[in-house]
Amino acid sequence: MEEAKAAKNQYKQELMRKPNVVAVGAGYKIVGGQQTDVPCVIVFVRQKVAAETLSRDQLVPEKVGEVPTDVVESGEIFAHQSRTGKYRPAPGGVSVGHRRVTAGTLGAVVRDSNSGERLILSNNHVLANSNSASEGDIILQPGSADGGTAANDAIGSLLRYQPIQFETTPGPPGDCGQANAFASLGNFIARTLGSEYRVYAYRVQQVVNLVDAAVARPLNDRDILDEILEIGEVSGVEEATIGMAVRKSGRTTSLTNGSIIALDTMVTVNYGGGRNAIFDQQIVSGPMSQPGDSGSLLVDGDSQRAVGLLFAGSDQTTVYNPIGLVQDLLAVTFAS
């Protein structure tokens, strides 16, 4: 696997420049629907097309260096948006959001690394309105899409977030003003795919992100629970591995299970409104989410340890920030 990771790092920029590629990661080759023990560089594409319709420059090579590639159709990868009732105290896995955001998921309760105070963890695009919010802004539970109002449902205030660096040249438009989750592949192709996509300026000027994450301070510490619905209380963290059984509890799809199919992945995420952002070192699983699940905590299927923070996906994949990066960049920890 180390050889596959090294090849991914060496060739990821070249592969990401191909017009149909949305993510590049390291994993094991899948043959006939079954995972083999052959390490490879996984190239995720919006749509598989016949090789004869592509130019030489557009084709994904069978190998990069001496490492084989595996082309996987994922569809376009979007940042996610859309239990929806009011919870007091509120556990992880329920609706939450900045007052100007529709709704995402309250991922978990974490501790501030310095003060030890309990905080609400979710995504930047859920709690901080994709960089548009200010410290102290009101956070609702449930989110506004689920009937939450500032007068009746404020649960916290925005404390801090990791800014998202968007591409300098806009990409194709999404289907709403906020970052939202999967549109159907067919609708997305009808809206956005075309020759104009293939000349994005970001192919020259790339700014890479590591996390889409934010924390809020509860207005009353008694209003939040350490446990996550249908999962329980998190007890530390664990690094993701290929094939690891994982689960998440989210606002829209509740408890879902899956497995990790790629690590150390570079991915282009469509945030809507003509904004795209590139993330690296990401975790990819099969489909485990729908709109509104953004901010869900990914947990090891065999323990109560946190693995990642769900923030984006497509009809075929779900994408997560590694939890170690989230902890480091937001200065938070989980009880262990």
DSSP structural state of residue 184: P
Q: pLDDT tens-digit profile of 64-122?
A: 999 999 999 888 787 766 589 999 999 999 999 999 999 999 999 999 999 999 999 99
- State the DSSP code for 219: S
Calpha distance 185→191 (Å, rounded): 10
Query: Domains, the chain, ranges and CATH?
Result: 2-73 (no CATH), 78-165+208-333 (2.40.10.10)
For residue 59, what is the DSSP state? S
Statement: the pTM of the whole predicted model exceeds 0.85:
no
Indicate the burial class of 136 (C-beta count within 10 angstroms; 0-12, 13-18, 19 or more): exposed
Check whether 187 has a pLDDT greater than 90.
no
User: Beta partners for 320?
Assistant: 283, 310
Residue 257 reports pLDDT greater than 90: yes
Which amino acid is located at 154 in the chain?
Answer: A
Q: Assess contact for 237 and 321: CB atoms under 8 A.
A: no
Location of structure tokens 């899948």:
30
User: How far apart, in whole angstroms, are the C-alpha atoms of residue 104 and residue 85?
Assistant: 13
User: Do 193 and 46 form a contact (C-beta atoms < 8 A)?
Assistant: yes
Model pLDDT for residues 280-323, shown as the tens digit of each residue: 999 999 999 999 999 999 999 988 899 999 999 998 999 999 99
Distances (CA, A) of 38 to 33, 64, 68, 281: 14, 14, 8, 21
Q: What does the pLDDT read at residue 201? A: 29
pLDDT value of position 336: 60
Alpha helices (H) along the chain: 2-16, 124-127, 150-153, 185-192, 323-330
DSSP H helical ranges for 27-155 = 124-127, 150-153
Greater model confidence, 312 or 170 = 312
CB 88 within 8 A of CB 156: no
Quick one: pLDDT at residue 73? 87
